[in-house]
């Protein structure tokens, strides 16, 4: 017996056996990981008018996303000339969110062009990621425009929060003020943003034939998931003072209709913590559905 075992247990043969065992173990581990792990997913977060990326943190949304296994990937910083760079956050999480610091006073068309370039840049680095996006207020409209203009980018789903998809009289009023003598004193009252945002107000004028939102809302939208989070009009003090609820509803957009989903939550116009819960639940569902379709 010792004579028979000697050839098997000599150092070269034993080393070969150990190598085979290690390789087989690694193969099994990788196979299990591929079968059970969450697909690599990315989420772009776009703030609204007169706001910045901190709004997602201050509202408590980022904390909720992180409790649901979304981790920071970094912030896209946009320079005045439109160029951008990613201030990345290290990590290897399968689900990562990215903040975008857009020039929120700029026209929607300009914001949309920047978003197209940012999405293309991210997908170039992460071609296999499932890409989703969420936008608050005007940021939601800018994201939708980017999807319509570049359907090839392949954004899998869009969540908008209190977004003026059909326009708002607030933008019309602000635009009117900039065309009166009041425009001369707004900078002294700390309202210089009114004069700087004339193009944005024009883009968010209530939808009617011939204007920007009418054009956008009648354009073909790419195949994707769409959800609008709508503020509840439950009384005088709970109404969104900026955007009427019916304008926030993606199911009322001519090109989408029943392709979109809607849910009502909260009051006022600002981002709220429960938006994070709705986002996390929706993204989990969309990611699962995307996995089943492959």
Residue 1 located in a structural domain: no
What does the pLDDT read at residue 26? 37
The pLDDT tens digits for 146-173 are 999 999 999 999 999 999 999 999 998 8
Contact (CB, 8 A) for 273 and 60: yes
Q: What is the CATH classification number for the domain harbouring 62?
A: 3.40.50.1820
- What number of residues does the chain have? 294
Over the Cα atoms of the chain, what is R_g? 25
What does the pLDDT read at residue 175? 75
The pLDDT tens digits for 201-250 are 999 999 999 999 999 999 999 999 999 999 987 655 556 889 999 999 99
Give the residue among 116, 56, 51, 55 at the shortest CA–CA distance from 279: 56
What does the pLDDT read at residue 30? 35
Q: What sign results for the dihedral spanned by CA atoms 263, 96, 225, 76?
A: positive
Residue 198 located in a structural domain: no
Residue 135 located in a structural domain: yes
CA 93 to chain CA centroid, Å, is 18
Residue 200 located in a structural domain: no
Residue 29 located in a structural domain: no
What does the pLDDT read at residue 108? 98
Residue 162 CA to residue 168 CA, distance in Å, equals 11
Q: What's the token pair of residue 110?
A: 């300009």
Residue 57 located in a structural domain: yes
Q: What's the token pair of residue 227?
A: 């959800």
Residue 134 located in a structural domain: yes
Residue 215 CA to residue 195 CA, distance in Å, equals 25
What's the number of domains the chain is made of?
Answer: 1
Contact (CB, 8 A) for 95 and 69: yes
Residue 224 CA to residue 260 CA, distance in Å, equals 9
The whole domain housing 74 covers: 38-168+217-289
Q: What's the token pair of residue 31?
A: 């196979």
What does the pLDDT read at residue 282? 98
pTM metric for this prediction = 0.84
Residue 28 located in a structural domain: no
> Consecutive 10-residue runs of the chain (294 residues): their mean pLDDT?
46 45 37 53 97 98 98 97 94 94 97 98 95 98 98 96 96 75 50 81 97 98 98 68 95 97 95 98 96 69
């Amino acid at each position: 017996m010792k004579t028979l075992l000697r050839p098997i247990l000599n150092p070269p043969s034993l080393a070969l056996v150990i190598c085979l065992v290690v390789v087989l173990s690694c193969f099994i581990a990788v196979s299990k990981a591929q079968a059970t792990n969450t697909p690599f997913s990315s989420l772009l977060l776009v703030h609204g008018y007169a706001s910045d990326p901190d709004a997602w943190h201050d509202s408590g949304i980022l904390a909720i996303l992180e409790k649901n296994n979304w981790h920071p990937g970094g912030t896209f910083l946009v320079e005045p000339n439109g160029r951008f760079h990613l201030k990345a956050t290290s990590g290897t999480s399968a689900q990562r969110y990215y903040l975008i610091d857009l020039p929120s006073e700029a026209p929607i068309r300009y914001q949309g062009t920047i978003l197209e370039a940012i999405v293309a840049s991210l997908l170039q680095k992460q071609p296999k990621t499932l890409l989703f996006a969420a936008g608050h207020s005007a940021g939601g409209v800018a994201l939708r425009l980017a999807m319509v203009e570049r359907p090839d980018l392949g954004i899998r789903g869009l969540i908008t929060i209190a977004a003026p998809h059909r326009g708002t009289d607030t933008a019309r009023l602000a635009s009117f003020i900039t065309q009166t003598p009041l425009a001369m004193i707004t900078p002294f009252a700390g309202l210089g943003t009114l004069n700087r945002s004339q193009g944005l107000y024009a883009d968010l004028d209530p939808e009617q034939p011939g204007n920007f939102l009418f054009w956008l809302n009648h354009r073909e939208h790419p195949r994707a998931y769409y959800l609008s989070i709508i503020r509840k009009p439950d009384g005088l003090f709970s109404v969104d003072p900026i955007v009427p609820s019916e304008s926030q509803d993606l199911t009322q957009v001519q090109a989408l209709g029943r392709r979109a989903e809607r849910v009502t939550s909260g009051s006022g116009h600002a981002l709220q913590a429960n938006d994070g819960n709705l986002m996390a639940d929706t993204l989990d569902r969309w990611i699962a559905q995307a996995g089943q379709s492959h």
